[in-house]
Amino acid sequence: MFNRIRTVVAVAMLTVATYAAAVEMAGDHPDTYVVKKGDTLWDIAGKFLKKPWLWPEIWQANPQVSNPHLIYPGDVLSLAYLDRVGVKPGPRQEAPINAIPLADIEPFLKNLRITDEFKSLPYVVSLEDSRLRASAGQVAYVMNLDNAQVGQRYAVFRPTLSYALPRHNEDLQANGDPLAGAGNLWKTYIAPSTRNEFLGYEMAQVNVGTVTRVPSGTTEVTSLLLQDSGREVRPGDRLMPVQAQPYDLQFIPHPPAPQAAETELRVLAVADTFTAAGPRDVIAISGGAREGIDNGTVFSLWRNSRRVNDRVEHSLISRADDGFTGGGRTVGVPEEYAAHAMVFRTFDKVSYALVMEGVKPVKVGYNVRHPDAQ
């Protein structure tokens, strides 16, 4: 299943760009093209444009297109003019060729949320049979779940990271306190000089449960029957209402808004506490809705420019990590392209993206650029 969408998205990641005044066509293009079953917007763009722009961006400039995100098998695309892409509707007998459906990428996504504060949230105080951990079919006892009713469903979350700039993220204990020694792995991080603020706490969903009993008499806790066997619940975990639809049903890859493209953005973290990400891994980015980032926004990710030792002149100096800024005879080297990623969940100051394709691992601290950055 993923092979098909990986091909589509890999093309999209490499070709996303803002709409330009003139659209250049390949010299050997036909006057018309009939959309076939199995075609994608990006396949067609790659065939007939010198630089295959993203089709929804082009179609926004064409009023004859009723929906810029849909084409159908049998549609006749006019390629006769350099400055116009016309569409003649087909018979509409088959389903439309759509954007990237959620089903094709959902297995790789992570259910993470960002919150400014979590210590006031309801929390697990104990577990059935005084267990240290609990999973599906077992009961968690929850404090401060006000006005809960039997049958209501809640998600169980665990605080994992604290995000702030310019300092690196901090790993959190269950009670929200920083984990001793946190940050020792983030050697690639180079702090931005233009921002200094708290971005939020990351909360990772570990389970889902249904309320089976509410406080009464001498009982001060709410009973929550756990339903997910994926990860175990422990005392200190927090509760939030279940979101019926945490992800969009489809994603339209597109370049970032000008504000996002002009903001200094970094890779804050790799999901599951990894330090490097490859294709289909989830990363956190230091920007969100306030920078104009929305779901489907595509970025390129770059290893930071840095100083390296000139070992010919100073062979006794051996430091080579990305945090090295100078000393002795050093030379500057440019940024290095690593991968492209598409945002799938956006919060105010932080976004989560799925790495779609690349040439090298993505690490914490890498720069986040426009997808066409050179």
Contact at 8 Å (CB) between 322 and 337? no
User: What was the pLDDT predicted at 103?
Assistant: 77
**Range with lowest mean pLDDT among 63-72, 96-105, 336-345:** 63-72
pLDDT at 185 over 70: no
Please enumerate in sequence order all residues whose Cβ is within 8 A of that of 103, keeping only pairs 6 or more positions apart, or say none.
none
In the structure, what pLDDT confidence band is assigned to residue 355 with cuts at 50, 70 and 90? very high
pLDDT at 71 over 70: no
pLDDT at 288 over 50: yes
Q: Which of 5, 4, 12 is nearest to 253 (CA)?
A: 12
Q: Which residue has the higher pLDDT, 306 or 293?
A: 293
Please enumerate in sequence order all residues whose Cβ is within 8 A of that of 3, keeping only pairs 6 or more positions apart, or say none.
none
Instruction: Establish whether the linkage from the previous residue to 166 is cis, with ω within 30° of 0.
Output: yes
The pTM assigned to this predicted structure is: 0.71
**Range with lowest mean pLDDT among 44-58, 279-293, 341-355:** 44-58
Q: Please tell me what DSSP assigns to residue 160.
A: E
pLDDT at 229 over 50: yes
Q: Which of 286, 276, 291, 263 is nearest to 339 (CA)?
A: 276
Tell me the C-alpha distance between 86 and 55, whole Å.
12
Tell me the C-alpha distance between 289 and 256, whole Å.
11
Tell me the C-alpha distance between 49 and 206, whole Å.
46
Q: Which residue has the higher pLDDT, 256 or 34?
A: 256
Task: Kindly state the tokens that stand for 78.
Answer: 């006019």
pLDDT at 278 over 50: yes
Q: Which of 148, 151, 154 is nearest to 214 (CA)?
A: 148
Across the chain, mean pLDDT equals: 76
Q: What is the pLDDT of residues 93-125, one digit of tens each?
A: 555 545 677 877 787 788 899 999 999 999 999
**Range with lowest mean pLDDT among 45-59, 101-115, 186-200, 268-282:** 45-59
Task: Kindly state the tokens that stand for 250.
Answer: 């489809």
**Range with lowest mean pLDDT among 174-183, 208-217, 335-344:** 174-183
User: What was the pLDDT predicted at 245?
Assistant: 82
Radius of gyration of the chain (CA): 25
**Range with lowest mean pLDDT among 49-58, 269-278, 311-320:** 49-58
Q: What is the pLDDT of residues 123-170, one digit of tens each?
A: 999 999 999 999 999 999 999 999 999 999 999 999 988 898 876 677
